Amino acid sequence: MFTQIRTSKENRDVVTQLTRTLGLGTENIIARIALTYSLSKDRKLNLNDIGNSSGKEYSKSVLFGEYYDYYLGLVCVHYNLYKTDLENLFIKRL
């Protein structure tokens, strides 16, 4: 199971700007909103082609809080993956 996740530099810049602009709290709140917003779109990333990870690093507990299982479930449903498949994919990228 992974414990850290790193975003792209572009994502870090957008989350930082939105955090300052919206004033909703810490960056992890905006990152959670961004994640769920991206899942609501009818688009999928090529999970085998994830490259740039020079952005912000979040611990699993900071990014997802006590709702890790829910976020993991949302991502798994969106990408039609099993939990272990997704976690193994994240571990390979870190």
What's the rounded mean pLDDT across residues 29-49?
Answer: 84
- Rounded CA separation 56/76 (Å): 23
Query: Could you tell me the pTM of the whole model?
Result: 0.74
The pLDDT, as a whole number, for residue 66 is 93
pLDDT at position 94: 40
Residue the block writes with tokens 């530099």 = 9
Output the average pLDDT for the chain.
Answer: 81
Asked whether 20 and 69 are in contact (CB, 8 A), the reply is no
Higher pLDDT, 3 or 40: 40
Q: Which range among 24-33, 38-47, 58-67, 72-81 shows the weakest confidence by mean pLDDT? A: 38-47
Structural contact between residues 58 and 4, judged by C-beta atoms closer than 8 angstroms: yes
- Residues 41, 46, 49: CA angle, nearest 5 degrees: 145
Q: pLDDT at residue 8 above 90?
A: no
